[in-house]
Structure 1
Amino acid sequence: MAVVLEALASNLSNVLAKMARKEVGMLLGISDKIDSLRVRLDGLKEFLADAERRRITDLHVQGWVKELKDAMYDATDILELCQLKAMDQDSRRSNNPSLLSLRNPLNAHHIGSRIMALNQRLDGIKQRAEQFSFIKLDRYGDCSRTAQGHGLRRTTPELDRSGVVGNKIEQDTRRLVELLTREEEEASAASISSNVRVVAIVGVGGIGKTTLAQNIFNHQDIKEKFDKIIWLSINQEFSDPELVRTAITGAGGEHSGHQQLSLLQPILREAISGKKIFLVMDDMWSVHAWNNSLRIPLVNSAAQGSWVLITTRDERVAREMKAIQPYHRVDILSWQDAWLLLKKQVVSTLKDEYAIEKLKSTGFRILERCGGLPIAMKAIAGLLSHKEINEIEWGKVLRSPSWSVDGMPEEINHAIYLSYDDLAPHLKQCLLYCSLIPSYHKLKSHLIVEIWISEGFVNGKSNELEELGKEYFNELIIRNLIHEMPYSEFGMHDVVRSFCQHLAKDEALSSHMGQLRVSDLDSKRYRWLCIENELDWSALQEQNSVRTLFLYGRTEIKFKANDLCSKFSNLRVLSILYAQHGSFDSLCQLKNLRHLYFFRTDIRSLPDGIDKMKFLEFIGITRCEKIQQLPGSIIKLERLRCLNLMSSNIRSIPRGFGRLTSLRTLYSFPAQMGSSSSKDEWCSLEELGPLSQLRDLHIKGLENVSASSSAAKAMLGAKKHLAIWWLECTDRQRDDGFLKEEGIISIDEQRRIKEVFDELCPSYCLEQLYIRGYFGWQLPKWMTSKASVRLDRLTSLKLDGLPCCTKLPDGLCQLSCLKLLQVRRAPAIERIGHEFLQIQQHNGDCHPSRAAVAFPILETLEFTVVLELEEWVWEEHIQAMPLLHELTLDRCKLRQLPLGLASHARALKVLKLFMVHNLKSLQNLPSVVELHLYENPDMESIRGVPKLQVLSINYCPKLKLLEGIPALQKLYLLDFSMKTLPGYLQDVKPKSLVLDCSLPLLGNISMGASCSDWDKISHIQQISGYAGEMRIRRRWCVFYTREPFKLDTNIVCSSISRDKTTLPPTDLAGLRRLLATASLW
């Protein structure tokens, strides 16, 4: 990592300030020497910004900067050694007060000598700085301020619409979708030699290839015409097994964690066998991934008409994969579209819209320097969004000298450098660090924030470091330098990554998939290393300055105590993922370690001497199945801020766990019986009582708590910082809501768990609550209207697995900030009554006042697997849910939707009804835009949905009437048991109909005007009809366009003749005549 000088200096200042507050120098008898070090560092600070800039182009300055950085690192190491010695000395004094006046003269002499030598080095460095004539650039101030100011990525199919502008991308999307859908039909009918064809999108990095591919992948026609659509992010450092595992998952298969390609490829063949596949391979640098991993399974098993879409910078890749020509080349953005993109990123108010139009000339000149690359334009937009919208500020950006900085690779756009240069030093440092993480390994955003803290990049008050780190993270997102991904992960565009890795090349090495050479480790003194799948231990030991070490891959890792103690004493961050046969007993020798993380590693225990790691702040042991308990000495880690045991088998915690009062995050705390005398079974909730700094808490196994008094001792109500809370009992239900095993949950069990949960009352500051596996007959009393604590900050409530709960509490409607409410697997709830919506008044009156609105900002409501729910009471005079956007009812017996829904949920846009038995009609839904029906066996009519645009109907055999839906655009109809088309099709006028039905019915439709059902659908502008055969869901198809008239099909007479249930002879004869003249693909 090319550590930013200003950020490193700020970190040093922070360490010195902490030492001063704790009187460390005085305790060791070296305070005068530490003071002299502080003075010298302050004298160098004013030159750092200029030196950091000039080092990029001036080799002499680069050498001076490296020398200064080495000195600063050594200063950090010495100061932290001082802290360790002081902590040891303070500990001895606490244990034996008679030693109060004694110091260790050897320690003082040794450390003092090192500081004196360092001071002499700094004097020489400052003297040599005079030859460079550095100027003072004091732009940012202290890095402890908040972040707010005025190719090797892993892509996903999720499309960020904020980066899509203009007509060109939509035109390109339509053209390629037409090719992929129409041409695949031609391929099916013409029986071409290969069942899989390839289309290529070619262009330089950052031009928008991935955005175009995402737009195609998410197009409705693609989803309709392929059985499986799969997205693979390739890049230069992919793993063959991981790639195939991802493909298996995308195809709906199960890879069972296999690592060998020879075992995975047959699983993939089985998953895609007979299916029409659309596969996107994004960011391909060679044909290796296709030839070695995917070609044979797809060619041998995928159905006729399957397609592979690739994106690549190298035309040779497209040629070697035999992509159809001409390849699609992505052009640079037109100036009009570039301007739209800039405005979309910068403008936030109508006032901004007016002001920015006056700057169009300057804006065009700035965009011209971006070379037409969308990624560069988004980075510049991120910069401009932090500037005032006026000619002066935009002119400064236009005339910035950063546009003309030399010495960087040609492929690195100067717009990226300009955006980087505008960052505060601490943000620069955090951004550079992100480029170290392999793009294809999933890393949560909270983990990267923890690592920033561990490396000293986040400077501020100790009690707010995580919040400050999140601000840094969000700032980088706002500036378009990193982007959010699903599941709280983050990504970085390959152009930005290349830029960051160029700046970091002398101090960071990220080597993967067998690319590491011994010479790489011999040639430079790295501070940050990321290595995968191979480990030359002898070469690695030479890297004695390393501060971050990421070890990825399924390889054997053994640490020897002497090696770690002597060679890696400066290590701050150690992350080990997927390691097998690891030996970690000597980890406690890493006394400077702050962050220790294991993921899917076969670690069996942490070392007993872990308390020697006094600086340790973050421990993660996730998905490590062989570890079952923590060492007793862990309770001495006074600085520990996070303990993550998620998906591990740890069943107990040591007595005295409550001494870890610095904990902010605790995941998967295993609740046990507080009265147990067994050392191995201790896990009392009482240990949570003293942990007053908790922000995020997950407790599992709450069914093991024997008494409510034990739960009360957790003192959760006193935790004023607790914002995210998971309460979990071991799940006793299947996905369908029924109990996993025969038998019942006793009344005593239900009573006891309710008493326990009653005592787990949170404080008012709670923001997110997730309860899973709760088997009480009633939800906790603190969720009722009579609760002593009002959860006025709660935004998200998820209740999953309530096998015995018979009704929802009456306090939910009073949650004034609630935006999301999910109730899943609650089979005992038969009725949602008045209490769900009626706000209790202070006098106990349940009649709502006119001003009271239940669920005032609720946006998403979901009832799933509430099997016995028959009635939902919501009377028209009760005001509720004015901002409700999406409602889902899944697997219940509801007879009708509540009357108040139509009257008051005026923002409702999406309604999903899945297997709602007994529901016969829908009517008067004035705001609904999307309606999805699936297996509603009693549904008969739909009336009065004037804004409905998208309607999907799957297996609703009794539906006869569609009335009052004039805005309908798309209708999806799926039912393989239909003998004829439903009559209601004559009553609606959608622009398009997508039909999945039986082959006999589809064959009838393919006859056009000769079909007995033709009058029901001939008025629809566009129809796509499909039928399956064996395991190929959409083997046969019919496509109809009303104006200009076109009727096409790939149904052949033999397929109809083979099925005796298809058509009567007269119809079959008509079909033969039709097929003789119809155009076949």
Structure 2
Amino acid sequence: MASALLTGAVLPSIFNVVFDRLSSPEFAIWIKGKKLTQDMLERLKTNLYAVQTFLNDAEQKQIKEGAVKDWLASLKDAMYVADDLLDEFFTKAATQMDPGTFFSRYLNLQDRKIAKRMEGIIERIESIVRQIGTLGHREIPKENMSWRITTSLGEISHVYGREKDKEAIVRLLLDDADTGDGDISVIPIVGMGGIGKTTLAQLVYHDDKVKENFDFQAWVCVSEEFDVMKVTKNLLEATKKCTCNLNNLDLLQQDLKDQLSRRKFFMVLDDAWNENPSEWKTLLQPFRDGVKGSKVLMTTRNEKVANAAQKASPYKLGLLSEEDCWLVFSKHAHLSTSSMENPDLKKVGRDIVKKCDGLPMAAQALGGLLSENSDVNDWNRVLKSEIWEFPDEVTPALQISYYYLPPCLKECFVYCSLFPKDYEFDKNELILLWMAQSFLRPGKNQTPEEAGDEYFNELTARSFFQLHSTKENKFVMHDLIHDLAMFFAGKFYFRAEEHENVENVVEIDNKTRHLSHNAKGNYPFSKLLRFCNSVKHTRTFLEINLDPWIPFNMENTPCILLSKLKYLRTLSFKCFPLESLPDSIGELIHLRYLDLSETRIETLPESLGNLYNLQTLKLVRCSKLKILPVSMKNLVKLRHLDIGNTGLREMPKGMSKLKSLQFLSHYKVGKHEENKIKELGALANLQKSIFIYKLENVVNIGEASMARMFDKNGIESLMLSWSWNEQNTFASEIERDILDKLQPHINLKELQIWNYRGTIFPDWLGHSSYHNITTLTLYGCRNCCMLPSLGQLPALKRLKISDFETLEIVGAEFYQKDESCVEKPFPKLETLKFQSMGCWKEWCSIKFNAFPRLKQLIIKECPMLRGELPNHLPSLESLKIQNCEQLSYCVPRAPAMTYLSITGASEVRIGELPPLLRHLFIGGSH
């Protein structure tokens, strides 16, 4: 592969893309017999070979030498232009009706024009190469700091050196005597960036004594953009654990006040920057009605911020001792005990730690850099790096961590500079953005998505990303890490939000290839449009509206961008008030990623089908979108199609032609020959999850078989849905056979079946071969008179059964199909919920020694249920029974129970109360 040419170079992604194109068979066809073109190719290769050995020296020097940084920027800019030309060539060649004869015809017509453009690019690169001598570059090899996937993302590293700090903060939080009525105690933690303020706050937040002392806790990141209404809304959403659509500060504060009153709360306000006392007074006003002892913990770098929020003295967080810093470094280095006892390695490591100056983030980053690497020479290279002597605009330890990143990761990391500080990254979304920019270099038999997953994991292992404090599957970048990305982004990245408070227009450099904009900010589109002609080679435009509920004015239609920026690879108008897309979208032949989610768009133009290179199309929550263009079937490179929560009436015809699809969020079964369920059969590479609905349009088992669901071993989550209002009294006779033929692969982890119209379920549902299923939902199966045998699903943890209108008995079949089975039924089930079972009368549960791990049992709206329920649940922690009027119930033996609520039951008999019970509510008839 040509990509091996530049292993270790500073500009690998764009260099490797160009070399791969030049080495392709199509390009070889073109140059065959064309001396001029062959000469040009040799000149280009010669110059790129010549320059690569100087790139490592230049990369290091650019930190302190502006001339070198400009030289690198010019070289990279020229390579981008070359790639744009080659991408245009390949796209136009590939989209002709007769590709076999087109190459010669097209290229003969275009030879002169393409050769002239290529000649100009080569001359420019030659001029750049000639400057090497004037810059004093040296030929130095790249040190091979091997790339490893080192840690699990879910691992929580031990925190060193903060035990006393944690104890001190916990004491302050548990002290109820430090405030009077109508007062609120704010405890500020103050310290420099990277010293561990957020880490300390997390330790305290998850402390068991703290959890027991407060009725509820919430965490909100305040960040540099201190908007009282925005922060209040975030606080309210964190408190209510749901989205808030209010845009009036008074209403927001009243709602927050209502939520906080009569409850003892603990709030964390992380990363505060605002020094205005009056704004803090306004923000904290709703907090004053909480129960005495309620607390707010705040983290900030600035003591003035602490004083603005609270008159009490802040808690000042100090640097780590050298010994604790060494422990942090060692932990992230992930070396064996024997390696760490190597005296030579340990001495070098100790010397590296001294240079961290007690800053835990520096020790963590350098530990991650050297993770699982016991080569003393590599450690010495880090210790003796010239970067330690460079100006500390960015912490030297972090600069070193960036310098030694594998080349394939550098551009991925720098790309994150487009997002604001404290942005909550979604891993899968970021991987798709990287893929659109050709940053990912898959290995043999590896998909780009799999390569992106490795890249993300490695950046996380090296502490460039970290798990969000409270949100599952979300990641953030520390402010210092974000500063590092901004520092190395240079002229090629422009984030308009960063300049929104600048009175004068901030010019965008003509080398800009990636830009992002916040539509609700103070940098309007009119300013961006002013520079579009000078940045026509831009590859990324991201609309980052941080709060979609805040209205904003659109000074000029964003569609003007489409006529200006013809080289876009990534385009996102997410949450923008966009109502239509012009036909000119089809002219963006380089486009790989298009996100129109949460817009007001109603239709998409047929010209969308011209986007031959499109890999990702997102239309999430486009509620007005009713139909997709017929030309969708032409998007043969499409890999991700997300159409969740749209108003689509049916799928376009010919989806089976999109054989590259890796992810299809939803499929609405149609009635036409080319949009029936059989179209799914050709989509053999589908991964993750899919929601298949309108299954009433499947009329026979042959169609269901042709979907080939059992062969899709990448699907982990599956929802099968019939329409609720489609009732056919004769349908139940064939529904079981249809569902039987929709049997998924045994790799499935989550299954939902909605509004199934059969009377019984097929045998595969509940079969023990489905050893990965952890979550199962059966909803609205109103004709079913018998539950499937689910007890032998070995990994099932969560089970919900709801809206069965004819089911009367939950009997032995629910537990096991084979009575000779010796395994306990439901061996790992933790949550079981029955709801809206109007005819359910009896639960046969006494003779089965089931549910050994059940923690939560919920039974709601089952008015006919009577008799006994399971009487021994050793792991049960929470029991809730609601509106079961005929139920005469004896509370089971449950020594672990902490929550018990029974309302609307006929009779409740309680023996000895469980010793751990903290919440008891018995209502209705006793």
TM-score interval, smaller chain: 0.7 to 0.9
Match of 1:1024? none
Match of 2:168? 175
What are the Cα deviations for residues 153-204 of structure 1, in whole angstroms up to 9, with x where unaligned?
Answer: xxxxxx98834434x6344334333323423x4534xx4xx52232211001
CA contact (8 A) 2:694 2:723 kept: no
Counterparts of 1:1040-1059 in structure 2 under 5 Å?
A: none
Instruction: State how far apart, in whole Å, the 2-side matches of 1:258 and 1:751 are.
Output: 49
State the 1:639 CA deviation: 0.8
Match of 1:552? 544
What are the Cα deviations for residues 499-522 of structure 1, in whole angstroms up to 9, with x where unaligned?
Answer: 111111322122328336663234
Q: Pick closer, same or farther for the CA change 1:563–1:483 going to 2, 3 Å.
A: closer
1:324 aligns with 2:315: no
**2:900 partner letter:** Y
State the 1:313 CA deviation: 0.3
Which of these residues, 571, 576, 579, is aligned with residue 576 of structure 2? 579
Instruction: State how far apart, in whole Å, the 2-side matches of 1:825 and 1:977 are.
Output: 24
CA contact (8 A) 2:899 2:917 kept: no
What SS class does the counterpart of residue 58 from structure 2 fall into? helix
Which of these residues, 864, 882, 897, is aligned with residue 833 of structure 2? 864
TM-score if structure 1 supplies the norm length? 0.73
Which of these residues, 132, 137, 162, is aligned with residue 133 of structure 1? 137
Counterparts of 1:779-858 in structure 2 under 5 Å?
A: 779-783=761-765, 785=767, 790-791=769-770, 794-801=772-779, 803-804=781-782, 805=784, 808-810=787-789, 813=792, 818=795, 820-825=797-802, 828=807, 830-831=809-810, 833=812, 836=815, 847-848=820-821
What are the Cα deviations for residues 240-290 of structure 1, in whole angstroms up to 9, with x where unaligned?
Answer: 543232222223287652345455344434444554443321101114697
Q: Pick closer, same or farther for the CA change 1:800–1:380 going to 2, 3 Å.
A: farther
1:493 aligns with 2:478: yes
Match of 2:4? none
Instruction: State how far apart, in whole Å, the 2-side matches of 1:186 and 1:663 are.
Output: 60
Match of 2:621? 623
What SS class does the counterpart of residue 521 from structure 1 fall into? coil
CA contact (8 A) 1:24 1:82 kept: no
Runs of at least 5 residues in structure 2 that lack an aligned partner in the other structure: 1-8, 546-551
Which of these residues, 470, 476, 481, is aligned with residue 453 of structure 2? 470
Instruction: State how far apart, in whole Å, the 2-side matches of 1:35 and 1:720 are.
Output: 46
CA contact (8 A) 1:268 1:297 kept: no
Which of these residues, 511, 516, 540, is aligned with residue 525 of structure 1? 511
CA RMSD across the alignment: 4.0
What SS class does the counterpart of residue 371 from structure 1 fall into? coil
Counterparts of 1:249-268 in structure 2 under 5 Å?
A: 249-252=237-240, 256-261=244-249, 263-268=251-256
What are the Cα deviations for residues 706-733 of structure 1, in whole angstroms up to 9, with x where unaligned?
Answer: 413474254224644533332242686x
CA contact (8 A) 1:162 1:345 kept: no
Q: Pick closer, same or farther for the CA change 1:195–1:563 going to 2, 3 Å.
A: closer
Runs of at least 5 residues in structure 1 that lack an aligned partner in the other structure: 151-158, 676-681, 733-740, 841-845, 903-907, 940-954, 966-970, 979-1081
CA contact (8 A) 2:656 2:681 kept: yes
Instruction: State how far apart, in whole Å, the 2-side matches of 1:346 and 1:339 are.
Output: 10
What SS class does the counterpart of residue 899 from structure 2 fall into? strand
Which of these residues, 653, 656, 678, is aligned with residue 654 of structure 2? 656
**2:475 partner letter:** F
Counterparts of 1:294-443 in structure 2 under 5 Å?
A: 294-295=282-283, 297-298=285-286, 302=290, 305-325=293-313, 327-347=314-334, 352-358=336-342, 361-388=347-374, 392=376, 395-396=379-380, 399-401=383-385, 404-409=388-393, 412-443=394-425
State the 1:71 CA deviation: 1.1
CA contact (8 A) 2:901 2:921 kept: no
Match of 2:693? 701
Q: Pick closer, same or farther for the CA change 1:571–1:813 going to 2, 3 Å.
A: same
Match of 1:1077? none
State the 1:630 CA deviation: 0.9
What are the Cα deviations for residues 923-948 of structure 1, in whole angstroms up to 9, with x where unaligned?
Answer: 698xxxx6433226899xxxxxxxxx
Larger Rg: 1
**2:611 partner letter:** M
What SS class does the counterpart of residue 377 from structure 1 fall into? helix
TM-score if structure 2 supplies the norm length? 0.84
1:9 aligns with 2:15: yes
What are the Cα deviations for residues 687-714 of structure 1, in whole angstroms up to 9, with x where unaligned?
Answer: 2222122223422423442413474254
CA contact (8 A) 1:233 1:281 kept: yes
Instruction: State how far apart, in whole Å, the 1-side matches of 2:758 and 2:377 are.
Output: 62
What are the Cα deviations for residues 36-57 of structure 1, in whole angstroms up to 9, with x where unaligned?
Answer: 5345434433333332222222
State the 1:665 CA deviation: 0.6
CA contact (8 A) 1:452 1:469 kept: yes
Between the aligned residues of both structures, percent identity stands at: 22
Q: Pick closer, same or farther for the CA change 1:378–1:783 going to 2, 3 Å.
A: same
What SS class does the counterpart of residue 689 from structure 1 fall into? helix
**2:53 partner letter:** E
Q: Pick closer, same or farther for the CA change 1:871–1:213 going to 2, 3 Å.
A: farther
CA contact (8 A) 1:16 1:38 kept: no
CA contact (8 A) 1:915 1:935 kept: yes
Instruction: State how far apart, in whole Å, the 1-side matches of 2:776 and 2:565 are.
Output: 45
Which of these residues, 674, 688, 697, is aligned with residue 680 of structure 2? 688
State the 1:647 CA deviation: 1.6
Instruction: State how far apart, in whole Å, the 2-side matches of 1:321 and 1:520 are.
Output: 33
CA contact (8 A) 1:576 1:598 kept: yes
- Farther-moved stretch of structure 1 (537-546 vs 795-804): 795-804
1:199 aligns with 2:180: no
What SS class does the counterpart of residue 650 from structure 1 fall into? coil
Match of 1:103? 106
Instruction: State how far apart, in whole Å, the 1-side matches of 2:211 and 2:779 are.
Output: 32
Match of 2:156? 162
Q: Pick closer, same or farther for the CA change 1:697–1:335 going to 2, 3 Å.
A: same
Counterparts of 1:957-996 in structure 2 under 5 Å?
A: 958-960=910-912, 971=916, 973-975=918-920
- Farther-moved stretch of structure 1 (203-212 vs 885-894): 885-894
Instruction: State how far apart, in whole Å, the 2-side matches of 1:864 and 1:834 are.
Output: 18
**1:629 partner letter:** I
**1:281 partner letter:** L
What SS class does the counterpart of residue 632 from structure 2 fall into? helix
What SS class does the counterpart of residue 68 from structure 2 fall into? helix
Which of these residues, 591, 601, 604, is aligned with residue 603 of structure 1? 601
**2:337 partner letter:** E
Match of 1:1041? none
State the 1:291 CA deviation: 1.0
State the 1:888 CA deviation: 3.0
What are the Cα deviations for residues 1007-1049 of structure 1, in whole angstroms up to 9, with x where unaligned?
Answer: xxxxxxxxxxxxxxxxxxxxxxxxxxxxxxxxxxxxxxxxxxx
What are the Cα deviations for residues 776-819 of structure 1, in whole angstroms up to 9, with x where unaligned?
Answer: 44334333549xxx546x3544325254455554477366xx46
Q: Pick closer, same or farther for the CA change 1:488–1:21 going to 2, 3 Å.
A: farther
Q: Pick closer, same or farther for the CA change 1:847–1:260 going to 2, 3 Å.
A: same
CA contact (8 A) 1:522 1:539 kept: no
1:286 aligns with 2:274: yes
Instruction: State how far apart, in whole Å, the 2-side matches of 1:691 and 1:584 are.
Output: 28
What are the Cα deviations for residues 533-566 of structure 1, in whole angstroms up to 9, with x where unaligned?
Answer: 232243341322321111133442755777523x
Which of these residues, 511, 516, 531, is aligned with residue 496 of structure 2? 511
Instruction: State how far apart, in whole Å, the 1-side matches of 2:569 and 2:859 are.
Output: 51
Q: Pick closer, same or farther for the CA change 1:225–1:101 going to 2, 3 Å.
A: closer
State the 1:483 CA deviation: 2.0
Instruction: State how far apart, in whole Å, the 1-side matches of 2:26 and 2:86 are.
Output: 11
